[in-house]
Amino acid sequence: MNRRRFLCTGAAGLASPAAGSLARAFAAEKPKRVGLIGPGWYGKCDLIRLIQVAPVEVVSLCDVDSRMLAEAADRVAARQASKKRPRTYADYRRMLAEKDLDIVLIATPDHWHALPMIAAVQAGADVYVQKPISVDIVEGRAMLAAARKYKRVVQVGTQRRSTPHLAEARDRIINEGMLGKIGLVEIYCYYHMRATGNPPDTNPPAYLDYDMWTGPAPMRPYNELVHPGRWRAFMEYGNGIVGDMCIHMFDMVRWMLGLGWPKRISSSGGILVQKNTKANISDTQTATFDYGDMSVVWQHRSWGHPPDPKYPWGATFYGEKGTLKASVMSYDFTPMGKDEPSIHRDVTYELEQYPEDKTEERLERHVAPAIRHHMQDFLAAIASRGKPVADIEEGYISTTSCILANLAMQLGRTLAWDPVNHTVTGDAEADRLLRRPYRKPWVHPEPDNV
């Protein structure tokens, strides 16, 4: 598929003439000024994909790791058209105080999503924020309220909504009725991705401002498992594998089937096998998102073999007329009728259009096209001042549902969510867990005061 045609991935389909016109209008304007908070692994992946598809000028980078920051600034200078080295900051507040950015990308650890995103829209920028949008539910409400109050476009990094072969599966298999009535969707991850080491605590390295890195999260002794990248092993900074991997597949299923809020959420699991490590996230967990006449059931194990080695992370849609398996790498449709043909599609690569993808360090090449299309959808929404395919409200629904799954496991009971009042129905104890305490001097954002 021609990338110039893949601009909008909403319910109407993969592309539209209007989206093409918006993209051309965007390209004809003065380059948008871009800043990135968190230029680590995925921050750089997101930013470089944006550089590939739009005439932007990256003017600001921010990180509390001075080595990571310097490396990112050098890489951006080499990649962007102007060859200018971005300004660098150790504090996002100083970067945003300049009030000269049109677009801000946020790719920090999860516990640092809410405050920078809210500050960015207050500073007048449109925002691309990584998933999950928050580590607690009140944070997410505040982020949604801020986006609406300041009339900013906010795209969430749930780029399955912009993945070409998955959009084809939705349009060709699901929307055309080839599955018939769908009664169950299983979503799952069997990657061995949970930290298993047990190194001693140490002093933080001189190049890392660990107090600022910790920010509003509880202060733990520094450990090499935490930075860079493996902070996901600790519930202090995120929501475990459910918050990291389930949200992608759950959000994908909601998009493909047009689902909103689940009626009830239950979950069970814990640390059942990998007990000899500092990691405190679950290694085994099942969660059920109940939609009444259909359930979406999540399972992860960070140990053992996957049931289907071809689909270690994905979704299986069970319909009366057939079964659809979908992942970041492919999809497979198997009809019930023996005489009907099966359908297989692999992930779309764009290595001929973007040969630099072949050599970029740590790039997930199979995801690069999805990020590009997600950025193009973001840019089209900026041009139209409309909602992108992964609008902040969609991110709030998917993030909140995953957080509720963890709370259901913690409390040992099913939770019913009230999306009008943003509360757990009839459960005051669960309601008290909708916000996490913030470490001083950081102040928890409030939906009514952003």
Domains of the chain with CATH codes: 17-161+359-391 (3.40.50.720), 163-348+397-432 (3.30.360.10)
Structure tokens at 277: 């490590």
Element holding 243 (H helix, E strand): none
The pLDDT confidence band at residue 229, using thresholds 50, 70 and 90, is confident
Task: Say if residue 4's pLDDT is above 70.
Answer: no
Q: What is the pLDDT of residues 278-299, one digit of tens each?
A: 999 999 999 999 999 999 999 9
pLDDT at site 27: 54
pLDDT at site 29: 73
| Burial class of residue 349 (count of CB atoms within 10 Å of its CB; 0-12, 13-18, 19+) | middle
Q: What is the pLDDT of residues 431-443, one digit of tens each?
A: 999 999 999 999 9
The pLDDT confidence band at residue 11, using thresholds 50, 70 and 90, is very low
Look over the chain and give the mean of its residue pLDDT values, rounded to a whole number: 93
Task: Say if residue 8's pLDDT is above 90.
Answer: no
Burial of 264-283, coded b for 16+ CB within 10 Å and e otherwise, reads bbbbebebeebeebbbebbb
Task: Say if residue 6's pLDDT is above 90.
Answer: no
Are 262 and 247 within 8 A, CB to CB?
no
DSSP helix/strand/coil, 9: coil
Token pair 């001693």: residue: 200
Task: Say if residue 18's pLDDT is above 90.
Answer: no
> From residue 399, how far is each of 31, 105, 161, 273, 380 by CA, in Å?
32, 18, 15, 26, 24
Task: Say if residue 391's pLDDT is above 70.
Answer: yes
Average confidence (pLDDT) over 68-80 = 96
